[in-house]
């Protein structure tokens, strides 16, 4: 009995061992018995969503005695919006060493939902014997899930509730219409009920910020509610996936534009408003100089961020765009040196503030006027004498001598040249000039005019008077008023204002002979 029992146990063990070996031989890849062993690493998921990627790694181990050149190929390289590629598709693996290959499967933004299969193949060539080659193959099955139109064609109002209406209102089209109408109703309630109630509450506060924010957000929020509701209801219609993808991409672009508009309005009317309020409470001019720069930067930075976001929504690689923008910036910088010089000169003027809007200045070429606009490219000056605008590039404003006639005050000293005949009593002339200056309406009475004998000219003694007037913009009027009063006083006192004359003596040579 014991002998028979031992025989049966031995037979059973032998059968189990043979079956185990057979099972191992079936489940073990063929490459395991070769010199090159391939170990696939499971990524943990086979679901690939639109606008994303999955990486699958393969560890190649050389358990032989010679180096192998391993080449990886994945087929197909592209399948209906899904691409497959190796990070590095070949490598040399030395004996006892390993190398990790990575295959990246990427789905485009507009990919549809489907099941995809890819074949990953490795060919290993023994480098000391190129005729000896080994191969390995692996099938990768992916469940591709679209970003858009996942619930396309479901006849649900608001994508949640069954359509309870009788025919012909029980179709997908009518479910879409009812959903949009509900969203429009929500937007109308916000616009005509919620927003006015919020205004009633904010009127009790002392701050203006809440009123400004409500005014900025009222219309955009109404539009966004309608827009979000309409686009989210699009999937109720039985439309092709690519059409829904294009609609939702357009919606995202509109959403970015609306967000950029809100961001700029909040920045301009809230942030800048707070900055100006703070600047009024300080005695330094630095914050007054920074605020205009902040305004200009907001006009530049926010649109650029919005533009880059739109490019990202459309599926463009921002890294490539930034590199291209950098190269384009070099080209533009070389081609637009004058414009860039004006731009940076404008920034310099805003920071240093040698003059500001409302100041009256005199240009190096004699131009005279009041600054009406200080931009990033040019400065606009209003010539109130001739009633026109002078546009001066900022580069010229920063590098040329500019006289700010209203600093430190708006008072200005004008110089008027007067010629009197030879033989006139200089003291009487000076007295009449002094009295005429004091009678001038725009003269500053607290400051005495200064009178100097300027030159002995060919036909007259030139006198110059320096008169302080109350405002630089009145310089022409003050000079004219002074001349009128002086002419009247000269006439009353017999002081002659000569005209140019030359005395010619004729020599008679006959008499001399």
For 494, list phi and psi in degrees, rounded to 5: 70, 25
CA dist 37 and 124 (Å) reads 10
Which of the pair, 439 or 22, is modelled with greater confidence?
439
CA dist 301 and 263 (Å) reads 11
- Section 103-117 average pLDDT: 86
- Section 138-146 average pLDDT: 88
Cβ partners under 8 Å of residue 100, min gap 6: 57, 58, 59, 60
The residue with tokens 């943990």 is: 44
- What's the confidence (pLDDT) of residue 24? 43
Whether the CB-CB separation of 362 and 381 falls below 8 Å is answered with no
Candidates 421, 418, 481; CA nearest to 453 is 418
pLDDT bin (cut points 50, 70, 90) of residue 428 is very high
* DSSP structural state of residue 398: H
- What's the confidence (pLDDT) of residue 26? 46
Q: What angle do CA 178, 179, 180 make, to 5 degrees?
A: 90
- What's the confidence (pLDDT) of residue 18? 53
| Beta strand segments in 441-498, E | 450-456, 461-469
Decide if pLDDT at 386 tops 60. Answer: yes
- What's the confidence (pLDDT) of residue 427? 92
Whether the CB-CB separation of 35 and 63 falls below 8 Å is answered with yes
For the record, the structure tokens of 401 come out as 């001598």
Per-residue pLDDT tens over the stretch 276-298: 887 777 766 556 667 777 887 88
Per-residue pLDDT tens over the stretch 14-70: 555 455 545 444 444 443 457 899 998 876 668 888 888 899 999 999 998 899 999
CA dist 109 and 112 (Å) reads 9
CA dist 285 and 177 (Å) reads 58
Q: Average the pLDDT over each of 1-10, 43-52, 259-268, 409-418 and give the range with the smallest value.
A: 1-10
Candidates 253, 247, 250; CA nearest to 235 is 247
- What's the confidence (pLDDT) of residue 67? 93
Residue 106's beta-bridge partner residues? 53, 83
CA dist 348 and 331 (Å) reads 24
In this prediction the pTM is 0.53
- What's the confidence (pLDDT) of residue 338? 79
* DSSP structural state of residue 79: E
Q: Average the pLDDT over each of 158-167, 200-209, 479-488 and give the range with the smallest value.
A: 200-209
Candidates 348, 422, 409, 417; CA nearest to 379 is 348
Query: What average pLDDT does the chain have?
Result: 82
- What's the confidence (pLDDT) of residue 175? 87
C-beta neighbour count of 102 within 10 angstroms:
14
Whether the CB-CB separation of 65 and 26 falls below 8 Å is answered with no
Whether the CB-CB separation of 188 and 230 falls below 8 Å is answered with no
* DSSP structural state of residue 443: B
């Amino acid at each position: 009995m014991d002998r028979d029992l031992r025989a049966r146990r031995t037979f059973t063990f032998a059968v189990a061992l043979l079956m185990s070996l057979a099972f191992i031989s079936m489940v073990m890849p063929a490459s395991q018995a070769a010199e090159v062993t391939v170990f696939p690493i499971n990524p943990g998921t086979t679901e690939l969503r639109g606008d994303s990627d999955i990486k699958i790694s393969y560890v190649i181990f050389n358990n032989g005695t010679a180096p192998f050149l391993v080449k990886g190929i994945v087929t197909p390289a592209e399948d209906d919006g899904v691409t497959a590629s190796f990070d590095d598709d070949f490598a040399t693996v030395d004996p006892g060493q390993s190398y990790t290959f990575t295959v990246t499967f990427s789905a485009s933004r507009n990919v549809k939902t489907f099941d995809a299969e890819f074949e990953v193949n490795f060919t290993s060539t023994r480098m000391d014997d190129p005729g000896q080659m080994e191969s390995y193959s692996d099938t990768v099955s992916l469940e591709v899930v679209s970003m858009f139109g996942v619930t396309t064609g479901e006849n649900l109002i608001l994508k949640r509730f069954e359509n309870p209406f009788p025919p012909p209102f029980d179709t997908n089209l009518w479910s879409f219409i009812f959903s949009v109408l509900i969203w429009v109703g929500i937007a109308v309630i916000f616009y005509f009920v919620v927003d006015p109630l919020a205004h009633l509450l904010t009127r009790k506060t002392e701050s203006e910020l809440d009123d400004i924010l409500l005014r900025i957000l009222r219309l955009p929020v109404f539009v966004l509610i309608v827009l979000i509701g309409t686009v989210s209801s699009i999937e109720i219609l039985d439309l092709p996936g690519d059409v829904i993808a294009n609609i939702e991409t357009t919606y995202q672009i509109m959403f970015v534009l609306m967000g950029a508009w809100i961001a700029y309005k909040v920045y301009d009317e809230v942030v800048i408003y707070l900055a100006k309020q703070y600047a009024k409470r300080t005695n330094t001019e630095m914050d007054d100089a920074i605020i205009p720069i902040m305004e200009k930067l907001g006009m530049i930075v926010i649109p650029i961020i919005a533009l880059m976001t739109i490019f990202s929504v459309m599926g463009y690689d921002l890294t490539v765009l930034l590199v291209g923008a950098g190269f384009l910036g070099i080209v533009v910088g070389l081609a637009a040196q004058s414009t860039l010089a004006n731009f940076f000169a404008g920034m310099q003027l805003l920071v240093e503030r040698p003059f500001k809007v409302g100041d009256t200045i005199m240009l190096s070429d004699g131009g005279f006027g009041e600054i009406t606009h200080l931009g990033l490219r040019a400065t606009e000056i209003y010539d109130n004498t001739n009633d026109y605008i002078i546009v001066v590039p900022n580069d010229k404003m920063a590098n040329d001598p500019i006289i700010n006639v209203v600093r430190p005050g708006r008072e200005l000293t004008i110089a008027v040249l007067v010629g009197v005949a030879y033989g006139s009593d200089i003291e009487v002339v000076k007295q009449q000039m002094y009295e005429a200056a004091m009678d001038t309406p725009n003269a500053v009475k607290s400051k005495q005019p200064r009178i100097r004998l300027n030159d002995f000219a060919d036909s007259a003694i030139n006198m110059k008077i320096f008169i302080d007037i109350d405002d630089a913009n009145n310089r022409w009027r003050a000079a004219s008023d002074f001349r009128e009063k002086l002419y009247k006083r000269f006439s009353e006192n017999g002081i002659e204002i000569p005209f140019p004359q030359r005395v010619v003596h004729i020599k008679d040579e006959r008499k001399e002979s």
